[in-house]
Amino acid sequence: AQSVTQLGSHVSVSEGALVLLRCNYSSSVPPYLFWYVQYPNQGLQLLLKYTTGATLVKGINGFEAEFKKSETSFHLTKPSAHMSDAAEYFCAVSGSNTGKLIFGQGTTLQVKP
């Protein structure tokens, strides 16, 4: 069985500060890992994904994440937060034949001016 845990349901940072959103996963098979962002009244937009290869992956809007197998983690970072980054962020894992996604609880990112 697969599962995802996102530590911290709410994270608040100042504009220009480092963003760190934590995600730990559990998977019995090599996982595919994803981060999605959800803006109010919108669907889920893919930020980045890890499938195989380089463990540091870069995504849209300056975000990146590092896959650490030994720590079963896939934390999302951005060096400098922007007001427009305020949204809900979801980490997800996929590993079944059907490709279904298992989501974490989500983290609401607040960016203060």
Partner 1 sequence: EPEVTQTPSHQVTQMGQEVILRCVPISNHLYFYWYRQILGQKVEFLVSFYNNEISEKSEIFDDQFSVERPDGSNFTLKIRSTKLEDSAMYFCASRARGGNQPQHFGDGTRLSIL
- Cβ nearer to partner 1, comparing 82 with 100: 100
**Rounded least distance, CB 12 to partner 1, Å:** 19
Assess contact for 48 and 59: CB atoms under 8 A.
yes
- Cβ nearer to partner 1, comparing 62 with 106: 106
- Cβ nearer to partner 1, comparing 90 with 111: 90
Q: For the CA atoms of the chain, what is the radius of gyration?
A: 13
Write out the residues near partner 1 by the rule CB under 8 A: 32, 34, 36, 41-46, 49, 51-52, 90, 92, 94, 96-106
Q: Which two tokens stand for residue 70?
A: 């030994």
Q: Which two tokens stand for residue 48?
A: 């980045």
**Rounded least distance, CB 18 to partner 1, Å:** 25
- Cβ nearer to partner 1, comparing 67 with 81: 67
Tell me which amino acid residue 86 is: A
- Under the phi-then-psi rule, with left for phi > 0, alpha for psi from -120 to 50, and beta for the rest, what region is 70? alpha
**Rounded least distance, CB 4 to partner 1, Å:** 9
**Rounded least distance, CB 86 to partner 1, Å:** 18
Distance, CA of 83 to CA of 110 (rounded, Å): 8
